[in-house]
Amino acid sequence: MFLISFITLITILIASIVMGIASIISKKTTIDREKSSPFECGFDPKGSARIPFSLRFFLIAVIFLIFDVEITLLLPLISIINLSNLFLWSLTGSLFLVILLFGLYLEWYNGALEWSS
């Protein structure tokens, strides 16, 4: 038990030292005006490089990512149908799908899936 605690302590200590050194080394000391300005092939930019990003696209991307991960978690249920109890398998799958549909309903109810506002 002492050996595991000692190894854990050494690992945390080494990780902290490496993160501290990386943080010190990566600090930028000079802020250059030319490097922080937008660059378009050597010409001055025509418009603002800081156009506002539509939060609707970001929200749809996050919703897609969440449901994509949930479908990925749902796929192994098909391969373990023969290895598990049928009642527990169907209960787990149904509960997972109910949670998935409840999340979809909440997104729909809050208006996150509507483009016109």
CATH of the domain at 23: 1.20.58
Residues 47-62 have a mean pLDDT of 74
Confidence of residue 56 (pLDDT cuts 50, 70, 90): confident
Q: Give the other-Cβ count within 10 Å of 59's Cβ.
A: 13
Q: What is the mean pLDDT of residues 65-78?
A: 84
Residue 59 is predicted with a pLDDT of 79
Residue that has been written with the tokens 């050494």 in this structure: 10
37: in domain: yes
24 assigned to some structural domain: yes
Name the pLDDT band for 31 (thresholds 50, 70, 90).
low
Q: For the segment 90-109, what is each residue's pLDDT rounded down to a tens digit? A: 998 899 889 888 988 888 88
Say yes or no to pLDDT of 61 above 90: no
**pLDDT > 70 fraction of the chain, expressed in percent and rounded:** 77
Number of domains in the chain: 1
Residue among 98, 99, 108 at smallest CA distance from 60: 108
Backbone angles phi, psi at 67, to 5 degrees: -70, -30
Specify whether the CB–CB gap between 70 and 100 falls below 8 A.
yes
Q: How far apart are CA 106 and CA 43, in angstroms?
A: 48
Would residue 19 count as lying in a domain?
Answer: yes
Full domain range(s) for residue 60? 2-109
Residue 114 lies in a domain: no
Average pLDDT over residues 39-58: 68
